[in-house]
Amino acid sequence: MRSMTRSAIEMPKDRLPILDMSRDPEDVARALNVACEQIGFFYLTNHGVPTELLRHVFAQSVRFHAEPLERKNALSINAFHRGYIGASSYRLNEELAPNLSESLVMMHELPPDHPDLLAERPLQGPNQWPELTGFRDTMLAYVSAMEKVGRSLLSRFAIALELEEDYFERSFREPTTFLRLLHYPPQPETSAENQFGSAPHTDYGAITLLAQDDSGGLHVRHRSGDWIAATPIPGAFVVNIGDVMARWTNDRYVSTEHRVLNVRGGHRYSVPFFFDPNMDVEIACLSTCESEERPPKYDAIRYGDYLLGRLNTHYAYRNAGRTIAAEAPDRPAD
């Protein structure tokens, strides 16, 4: 394996880089290092997901969000973190207005006899499927396709981080996945400064692959502080790393704030797919990301505990009379 030293190449300040998955894996790995060390975002092209499947996913999302509110509320998000999150029902903190969006959340689908489901382990339960013809089959086909893309990216990440190409396979043997169908209604340009379709935030997990319509509105914060528009490119995903991958790499790779402002006057739809490790995987500094000059910054933590801590902090429903796990520590090592 060739050395993948940290890149001195400066990324443009006004646009996200584009990675072509059809290129040689080592070329992709080098491009990953540039993107993930400097901004943690990139477009992904030639990923292999059929355009027709993407079209069906968006069509089903539009159908679901056009359903009467009482039918959507019948699928309200449950203790397994699966279901409908209503418009303006989620906010990051008290200083911000609730996000002007609604969504349906689906996680990895478990067979009825799966040991984690039978043991009632946290977040291991059935999805809530709307009664729409073809909906469930379309979403399961999409999840399968996206898992393949995620695994292909993991092998490139391993090469980039100077690890064995299959290094991450065991950590993602039974991945924790989230598929979210987001709808952003039109946002008046006269909205308050603290009103967003999605307020500035970083993602919790390892890899996010976002399909978006042609509305625009997604912005990524450059390290200079400026916001870069993630203008839609037909057929391309917008990919970013989350806090878990940043933590795994000792902050060599950056998890970057992003936001959505839907101020063009129409409805915006997007479909993020979150590809995260098995719940029992320990997230500890990778051997190639530490040195005497750069010792580990974070304590090792079980991914499932970390995830529960984040969900318990940010979702009010998890504090509504339920017994929940204590918030996992999220601090640098002493």
SS3 160: helix
pTM for the whole structure: 0.91
When computed from its CA atoms, the radius of gyration of the chain, rounded to whole angstroms, is 19
Residue pLDDT, tens place only, 132-170? 999 999 999 999 999 999 999 999 999 999 999 999 999
Q: How confident is the model at residue 317 (pLDDT cuts 50, 70, 90)?
A: confident
Average pLDDT over residues 11-15: 76
**40 contacts 243 by C-beta, under 8 angstroms:** no
3-state secondary structure of 178: strand
Q: Is the pLDDT of residue 327 over 60?
A: no
Contact 256, 40 (CB under 8 A): yes
Domains with residue ranges and CATH for the chain: 18-281 (2.60.120.330)
What are the pLDDT digits (tens) for 31-75?
999 999 999 999 999 999 999 999 999 999 999 999 999 999 999
Alpha-helix runs per DSSP H in the chain = 25-38, 51-65, 69-73, 115-118, 135-160, 243-248, 303-314
- Per-residue pLDDT reduced to its tens digit, 80-119: 999 999 986 666 677 778 888 999 999 999 888 999 988 8
* Predicted confidence (pLDDT) at residue 321 exceeds the cutoff of 50: no
- Helix orientation angle between 51-65 and 135-160, rounded to the nearest 10 degrees: 130
The Cα diameter of the chain in Å comes to 59
For residues 217 and 227, is the Cβ–Cβ distance under 8 A? no
Q: Which two structure tokens, joined as six digits, stand for 34?
A: 């540039």
pLDDT at 241: 97
Helix, strand, or coil (residue 220): strand
Sheet with 41-45, strands from edge to edge, namely 18-20, 41-45, 237-241, 207-212, 268-276, 176-184, 102-107, 83-85
Predicted confidence at residue 7, as pLDDT, reads: 52
Q: 331 exposed, middle or buried (CB, 10 Å; 0-12, 13-18, 19+)?
A: exposed
- What is the average pLDDT value for the chain, to the nearest integer? 90
Are 27 and 181 in contact by the 8 Å Cβ rule? The answer is: no
As a whole number of Å, the end-to-end CA separation of the chain is: 34
